[in-house]
Structure 1
Amino acid sequence: MLDDVLGPSLDVLFCGINPGLMSAATGHHFARPGNRFWPALHLSGFTPRLLAPAEQHLLPSYGLGITNLAPRPSAKASELTREELVEGGAALAAKVAAVAPKALAVLGVSAYRTAFLRPKARIGPQEETVGGARVWVLPNPSGLNAHFTLAGIAEEMRRLRSSLA
Protein backbone atom coordinates (compact mmCIF):
# COMPACT_ATOMS: atom_id res chain seq x y z
CA MET A 1 0.00 0.00 0.00
CA LEU A 2 1.32 3.41 -0.99
CA ASP A 3 0.19 6.40 1.07
CA ASP A 4 -1.68 9.19 -0.69
CA VAL A 5 -0.10 12.63 -0.90
CA LEU A 6 -2.88 15.00 0.12
CA GLY A 7 -3.31 18.46 1.50
CA PRO A 8 -5.92 21.17 1.94
CA SER A 9 -7.23 23.19 -0.99
CA LEU A 10 -5.81 21.04 -3.78
CA ASP A 11 -6.01 22.37 -7.30
CA VAL A 12 -5.33 18.93 -8.81
CA LEU A 13 -5.41 15.43 -7.42
CA PHE A 14 -3.36 13.27 -9.78
CA CYS A 15 -4.48 9.65 -9.82
CA GLY A 16 -2.13 6.93 -11.02
CA ILE A 17 -3.41 3.50 -11.93
CA ASN A 18 -1.61 1.55 -9.19
CA PRO A 19 1.82 1.52 -7.56
CA GLY A 20 4.64 -0.02 -9.52
CA LEU A 21 6.97 -2.37 -7.69
CA MET A 22 9.63 0.30 -7.19
CA SER A 23 7.06 2.76 -5.83
CA ALA A 24 5.81 0.13 -3.40
CA ALA A 25 9.38 -0.61 -2.29
CA THR A 26 10.37 3.04 -1.82
CA GLY A 27 7.05 4.49 -0.65
CA HIS A 28 7.24 7.14 -3.38
CA HIS A 29 4.81 7.60 -6.25
CA PHE A 30 6.15 7.27 -9.81
CA ALA A 31 9.53 6.13 -8.44
CA ARG A 32 10.78 4.13 -11.42
CA PRO A 33 13.52 6.11 -13.22
CA GLY A 34 11.83 5.68 -16.63
CA ASN A 35 8.54 7.11 -15.42
CA ARG A 36 7.84 10.52 -16.94
CA PHE A 37 5.44 11.91 -14.31
CA TRP A 38 7.94 14.10 -12.45
CA PRO A 39 9.63 15.56 -15.57
CA ALA A 40 6.24 16.20 -17.23
CA LEU A 41 4.91 17.84 -14.08
CA HIS A 42 7.83 20.27 -14.15
CA LEU A 43 7.80 20.87 -17.92
CA SER A 44 4.07 21.67 -17.75
CA GLY A 45 4.70 24.41 -15.18
CA PHE A 46 2.99 22.72 -12.23
CA THR A 47 6.27 22.78 -10.27
CA PRO A 48 9.04 25.39 -10.44
CA ARG A 49 11.75 22.72 -10.62
CA LEU A 50 12.05 19.01 -11.28
CA LEU A 51 11.11 17.17 -8.10
CA ALA A 52 12.45 13.74 -7.23
CA PRO A 53 9.97 11.08 -6.13
CA ALA A 54 11.35 11.40 -2.57
CA GLU A 55 10.18 15.03 -2.60
CA GLN A 56 6.53 14.10 -3.17
CA HIS A 57 5.70 15.60 0.24
CA LEU A 58 6.24 19.05 -1.34
CA LEU A 59 3.34 18.64 -3.77
CA PRO A 60 0.58 19.98 -1.48
CA SER A 61 2.51 23.26 -1.20
CA TYR A 62 1.90 23.61 -4.97
CA GLY A 63 -1.77 22.68 -4.62
CA LEU A 64 -1.16 19.14 -5.90
CA GLY A 65 -1.78 15.65 -4.56
CA ILE A 66 -1.37 12.03 -5.68
CA THR A 67 -3.42 8.89 -5.18
CA ASN A 68 -4.00 5.64 -7.11
CA LEU A 69 -7.02 3.86 -8.54
CA ALA A 70 -5.95 0.48 -7.19
CA PRO A 71 -3.75 -0.12 -4.16
CA ARG A 72 -2.16 -3.41 -5.28
CA PRO A 73 1.41 -3.00 -6.57
CA SER A 74 2.30 -4.72 -9.83
CA ALA A 75 5.00 -4.70 -12.48
CA LYS A 76 2.46 -3.58 -15.10
CA ALA A 77 -0.96 -1.96 -14.78
CA SER A 78 -2.32 -4.59 -17.16
CA GLU A 79 -2.00 -7.12 -14.31
CA LEU A 80 -4.96 -5.51 -12.52
CA THR A 81 -8.41 -7.03 -12.88
CA ARG A 82 -11.45 -5.18 -14.14
CA GLU A 83 -12.98 -5.63 -10.68
CA GLU A 84 -9.99 -3.97 -8.99
CA LEU A 85 -10.32 -0.95 -11.27
CA VAL A 86 -14.10 -0.63 -10.81
CA GLU A 87 -13.74 -0.94 -7.03
CA GLY A 88 -10.93 1.61 -7.17
CA GLY A 89 -13.13 4.00 -9.14
CA ALA A 90 -15.81 3.88 -6.45
CA ALA A 91 -13.24 4.41 -3.70
CA LEU A 92 -11.68 7.26 -5.68
CA ALA A 93 -15.03 9.02 -6.04
CA ALA A 94 -15.49 8.92 -2.26
CA LYS A 95 -11.94 10.16 -1.69
CA VAL A 96 -12.39 13.03 -4.15
CA ALA A 97 -15.66 14.02 -2.47
CA ALA A 98 -13.83 14.17 0.89
CA VAL A 99 -10.70 15.98 -0.35
CA ALA A 100 -12.54 18.29 -2.80
CA PRO A 101 -9.80 19.14 -5.32
CA LYS A 102 -10.67 21.55 -8.14
CA ALA A 103 -9.81 18.82 -10.64
CA LEU A 104 -9.08 15.11 -10.71
CA ALA A 105 -6.43 14.09 -13.25
CA VAL A 106 -6.47 10.37 -14.04
CA LEU A 107 -3.19 9.18 -15.55
CA GLY A 108 -4.27 6.50 -17.99
CA VAL A 109 -7.21 6.53 -20.38
CA SER A 110 -7.69 2.74 -20.48
CA ALA A 111 -7.86 2.49 -16.69
CA TYR A 112 -10.26 5.44 -16.57
CA ARG A 113 -12.52 3.83 -19.18
CA THR A 114 -12.66 0.63 -17.15
CA ALA A 115 -12.95 2.14 -13.66
CA PHE A 116 -15.74 4.55 -14.57
CA LEU A 117 -17.47 2.53 -17.31
CA ARG A 118 -16.69 5.16 -19.95
CA PRO A 119 -15.55 3.07 -22.94
CA LYS A 120 -15.34 6.06 -25.30
CA ALA A 121 -13.38 8.41 -23.02
CA ARG A 122 -10.42 10.17 -24.60
CA ILE A 123 -7.42 12.10 -23.32
CA GLY A 124 -8.45 15.55 -22.10
CA PRO A 125 -11.35 17.04 -20.15
CA GLN A 126 -14.36 14.83 -19.50
CA GLU A 127 -18.01 15.86 -19.39
CA GLU A 128 -18.76 13.96 -16.20
CA THR A 129 -17.46 14.70 -12.72
CA VAL A 130 -16.09 12.28 -10.13
CA GLY A 131 -16.82 12.98 -6.48
CA GLY A 132 -17.91 16.48 -7.46
CA ALA A 133 -14.62 17.37 -9.18
CA ARG A 134 -14.16 17.93 -12.87
CA VAL A 135 -12.09 15.22 -14.53
CA TRP A 136 -9.18 15.44 -16.91
CA VAL A 137 -7.72 12.23 -18.35
CA LEU A 138 -3.98 12.39 -18.97
CA PRO A 139 -1.67 9.92 -20.70
CA ASN A 140 -0.13 7.26 -18.51
CA PRO A 141 3.42 8.54 -17.80
CA SER A 142 4.88 5.03 -17.53
CA GLY A 143 7.86 4.38 -19.73
CA LEU A 144 5.84 1.43 -21.06
CA ASN A 145 3.39 3.85 -22.74
CA ALA A 146 4.87 4.28 -26.22
CA HIS A 147 1.89 6.29 -27.49
CA PHE A 148 3.06 9.50 -25.82
CA THR A 149 6.45 11.19 -25.55
CA LEU A 150 7.53 13.20 -22.53
CA ALA A 151 6.74 16.38 -24.49
CA GLY A 152 3.26 15.06 -25.31
CA ILE A 153 2.51 14.18 -21.70
CA ALA A 154 3.79 17.57 -20.53
CA GLU A 155 1.60 19.31 -23.14
CA GLU A 156 -1.51 17.53 -21.87
CA MET A 157 -0.58 18.50 -18.30
CA ARG A 158 -0.06 22.09 -19.51
CA ARG A 159 -3.56 22.09 -21.02
CA LEU A 160 -4.94 20.96 -17.66
CA ARG A 161 -2.96 23.63 -15.82
CA SER A 162 -4.20 26.34 -18.21
CA SER A 163 -7.80 25.23 -17.63
CA LEU A 164 -7.43 25.97 -13.92
CA ALA A 165 -6.61 29.63 -14.41
Structure 2
Amino acid sequence: MSLTDLLDPSVRIVVAGTIAAWHRAEQEHYYAGAGNQFWYLLHASGLMPEQLQPADDHRLPAFGIGLTDLVRTRRSEPGEPPVFDVRGFHKRIRRCAPDVVAFVSKTAASSYARAAGERLPREHGALSWQVAGVPAFVLPGPSGANNGMPLPLRTAMWADLLDYLETLA
Protein backbone atom coordinates (compact mmCIF):
# COMPACT_ATOMS: atom_id res chain seq x y z
CA MET A 1 0.00 0.00 0.00
CA SER A 2 1.31 3.47 -0.82
CA LEU A 3 0.24 7.07 -0.90
CA THR A 4 -0.55 8.74 -4.21
CA ASP A 5 2.56 10.26 -5.77
CA LEU A 6 2.57 14.04 -5.90
CA LEU A 7 4.71 14.47 -9.00
CA ASP A 8 4.56 16.39 -12.25
CA PRO A 9 7.10 17.74 -14.75
CA SER A 10 7.23 21.14 -13.02
CA VAL A 11 8.88 19.87 -9.83
CA ARG A 12 12.53 20.71 -9.21
CA ILE A 13 12.85 18.62 -6.05
CA VAL A 14 11.43 15.18 -5.41
CA VAL A 15 11.41 14.34 -1.72
CA ALA A 16 11.54 10.57 -1.41
CA GLY A 17 10.84 8.42 1.60
CA THR A 18 10.14 4.74 1.97
CA ILE A 19 7.05 2.78 2.69
CA ALA A 20 8.83 0.35 4.96
CA ALA A 21 5.95 0.21 7.41
CA TRP A 22 2.82 -1.25 5.86
CA HIS A 23 0.48 0.96 7.88
CA ARG A 24 2.00 4.32 6.90
CA ALA A 25 -0.21 4.89 3.86
CA GLU A 26 -3.28 4.57 6.06
CA GLN A 27 -2.56 8.13 7.28
CA GLU A 28 -3.85 9.42 3.89
CA HIS A 29 -1.33 12.28 3.74
CA TYR A 30 2.43 12.47 3.59
CA TYR A 31 4.27 13.10 6.86
CA ALA A 32 1.07 13.30 8.91
CA GLY A 33 2.38 11.40 11.93
CA ALA A 34 2.38 12.99 15.36
CA GLY A 35 5.68 14.72 16.06
CA ASN A 36 6.77 14.75 12.41
CA GLN A 37 8.52 18.04 11.61
CA PHE A 38 8.44 17.67 7.80
CA TRP A 39 6.09 20.60 7.12
CA TYR A 40 7.90 22.87 9.59
CA LEU A 41 11.30 22.01 8.08
CA LEU A 42 10.15 22.71 4.52
CA HIS A 43 9.08 26.20 5.52
CA ALA A 44 11.76 27.09 8.10
CA SER A 45 14.54 26.03 5.71
CA GLY A 46 13.34 28.37 2.98
CA LEU A 47 12.25 25.57 0.64
CA MET A 48 8.61 26.73 0.97
CA PRO A 49 7.28 30.29 1.28
CA GLU A 50 4.53 29.18 3.67
CA GLN A 51 4.01 26.37 6.13
CA LEU A 52 1.51 23.83 4.89
CA GLN A 53 -0.26 21.11 6.83
CA PRO A 54 -0.35 17.42 5.84
CA ALA A 55 -3.84 17.85 4.34
CA ASP A 56 -2.31 20.43 1.98
CA ASP A 57 0.26 17.99 0.59
CA HIS A 58 -1.43 18.09 -2.84
CA ARG A 59 -0.31 21.74 -3.17
CA LEU A 60 3.44 20.97 -3.08
CA PRO A 61 3.97 20.50 -6.86
CA ALA A 62 2.82 24.10 -7.41
CA PHE A 63 5.85 25.11 -5.31
CA GLY A 64 8.23 22.89 -7.32
CA ILE A 65 8.33 20.06 -4.78
CA GLY A 66 7.12 16.53 -5.42
CA LEU A 67 6.62 13.63 -3.05
CA THR A 68 6.99 9.93 -3.65
CA ASP A 69 8.17 6.82 -1.88
CA LEU A 70 10.36 3.86 -2.58
CA VAL A 71 7.66 1.25 -2.10
CA ARG A 72 8.08 -2.20 -0.58
CA THR A 73 7.03 -4.93 -2.96
CA ARG A 74 6.46 -7.66 -0.39
CA ARG A 75 6.85 -8.46 3.27
CA SER A 76 10.33 -9.60 4.26
CA GLU A 77 11.23 -12.32 6.70
CA PRO A 78 12.36 -11.03 10.11
CA GLY A 79 16.00 -9.97 9.93
CA GLU A 80 15.98 -9.63 6.13
CA PRO A 81 16.15 -6.24 4.41
CA PRO A 82 12.93 -5.01 2.77
CA VAL A 83 12.50 -5.54 -0.97
CA PHE A 84 11.70 -2.31 -2.83
CA ASP A 85 10.41 -1.54 -6.33
CA VAL A 86 13.50 0.25 -7.67
CA ARG A 87 12.42 0.05 -11.32
CA GLY A 88 9.07 1.68 -10.55
CA PHE A 89 10.84 4.35 -8.52
CA HIS A 90 13.24 5.09 -11.40
CA LYS A 91 10.33 5.29 -13.83
CA ARG A 92 8.55 7.91 -11.67
CA ILE A 93 11.76 9.95 -11.33
CA ARG A 94 12.43 9.86 -15.10
CA ARG A 95 8.86 10.87 -15.86
CA CYS A 96 8.96 14.07 -13.79
CA ALA A 97 12.70 14.80 -14.38
CA PRO A 98 13.47 16.88 -11.27
CA ASP A 99 16.76 18.65 -10.63
CA VAL A 100 17.38 16.63 -7.46
CA VAL A 101 16.01 13.64 -5.54
CA ALA A 102 16.16 14.40 -1.81
CA PHE A 103 15.85 11.39 0.45
CA VAL A 104 13.98 12.34 3.58
CA SER A 105 16.43 10.50 5.87
CA LYS A 106 19.57 8.39 5.86
CA THR A 107 17.28 5.40 6.39
CA ALA A 108 15.44 6.16 3.14
CA ALA A 109 18.69 6.80 1.25
CA SER A 110 20.23 3.60 2.66
CA SER A 111 17.16 1.58 1.67
CA TYR A 112 17.48 2.87 -1.89
CA ALA A 113 21.25 2.33 -1.93
CA ARG A 114 20.94 -1.31 -0.82
CA ALA A 115 18.17 -2.01 -3.33
CA ALA A 116 19.97 -0.26 -6.21
CA GLY A 117 23.49 -1.50 -5.45
CA GLU A 118 24.86 1.91 -4.50
CA ARG A 119 27.20 2.91 -1.70
CA LEU A 120 25.47 3.60 1.64
CA PRO A 121 25.39 7.28 2.60
CA ARG A 122 27.70 8.22 5.46
CA GLU A 123 26.64 11.85 5.89
CA HIS A 124 23.75 14.15 5.11
CA GLY A 125 24.01 16.25 1.95
CA ALA A 126 24.90 15.56 -1.67
CA LEU A 127 25.56 11.93 -2.62
CA SER A 128 28.21 10.61 -4.98
CA TRP A 129 25.61 8.65 -6.97
CA GLN A 130 22.45 9.51 -8.86
CA VAL A 131 18.89 8.20 -9.03
CA ALA A 132 17.83 7.52 -12.62
CA GLY A 133 20.37 10.10 -13.81
CA VAL A 134 19.29 12.74 -11.25
CA PRO A 135 21.61 14.03 -8.49
CA ALA A 136 20.70 12.75 -5.02
CA PHE A 137 20.78 14.39 -1.59
CA VAL A 138 20.14 13.16 1.97
CA LEU A 139 18.16 15.22 4.45
CA PRO A 140 18.07 14.56 8.19
CA GLY A 141 14.84 12.78 9.01
CA PRO A 142 11.88 14.90 10.14
CA SER A 143 10.24 12.28 12.32
CA GLY A 144 9.99 12.41 16.08
CA ALA A 145 12.41 9.47 16.14
CA ASN A 146 15.13 11.94 15.07
CA ASN A 147 14.61 14.31 18.00
CA GLY A 148 18.18 13.62 19.17
CA MET A 149 19.32 16.08 16.48
CA PRO A 150 18.40 19.63 17.53
CA LEU A 151 15.71 21.19 15.36
CA PRO A 152 17.85 24.26 14.44
CA LEU A 153 20.56 21.93 13.11
CA ARG A 154 18.03 19.89 11.12
CA THR A 155 16.58 23.12 9.73
CA ALA A 156 20.04 24.32 8.65
CA MET A 157 20.72 20.98 6.95
CA TRP A 158 17.40 21.20 5.09
CA ALA A 159 18.43 24.71 3.98
CA ASP A 160 21.58 23.08 2.56
CA LEU A 161 19.28 21.43 0.00
CA LEU A 162 18.25 24.87 -1.25
CA ASP A 163 21.91 25.87 -1.54
CA TYR A 164 22.69 22.62 -3.36
CA LEU A 165 19.80 23.17 -5.77
CA GLU A 166 21.24 26.55 -6.69
CA THR A 167 24.58 24.93 -7.59
CA LEU A 168 22.77 22.68 -10.08
CA ALA A 169 21.15 25.56 -11.99
Tell whether the structures are fold-level matches, with TM greater than 0.5: yes
**Partner of residue 106 from structure 2, selected from 105, 109, 112:** 109
- TM-score, normalised via structure 1 length: 0.83
Task: Read off the aligned partner of 2:81 and give its amino acid letter.
Answer: R
Q: List aligned pairs for 1:8-157, cutoff 5 A.
A: 8-18=9-19, 24-70=25-71, 82-84=81-83, 87-117=84-114, 118-157=119-158
1:96-143 Cα distance to aligned partner (Å, 9 max, x none): 122211000001213322321323532110111111110001112110
Q: Is the 8 A contact 1:23 1:31 kept in 2?
A: no
Report deviation, 1:81: 5.2
What is the SS of the residue equivalent to 2:128?
strand
Report deviation, 1:25: 2.8
Ranges in structure 2 where 5+ consecutive residues have no aligned partner: none
Q: Is the 8 A contact 2:19 2:69 kept in 1?
A: yes
Q: Is the 8 A contact 2:129 2:135 kept in 1?
A: yes
- TM-score, normalised via structure 2 length: 0.81
Q: Is the 8 A contact 1:22 1:31 kept in 2?
A: no
RMSD: 2.4
Report deviation, 1:159: 0.7
Larger mean CA deviation between 132-141 and 110-119 belongs to 110-119
What is the SS of the residue equivalent to 1:91?
helix
Report deviation, 1:20: 6.2
Q: Is the 8 A contact 1:40 1:151 kept in 2?
A: no
What is the SS of the residue equivalent to 2:42?
helix
Q: Does the C-alpha gap of structure 1 residues 80 and 56 become closer, same or farther in structure 2, counting only changes over 3 Å? A: farther
Question: How many pairs does the alignment contain?
Answer: 157
Task: Read off the aligned partner of 1:130 and give its amino acid letter.
Answer: V
Report deviation, 1:83: 3.4
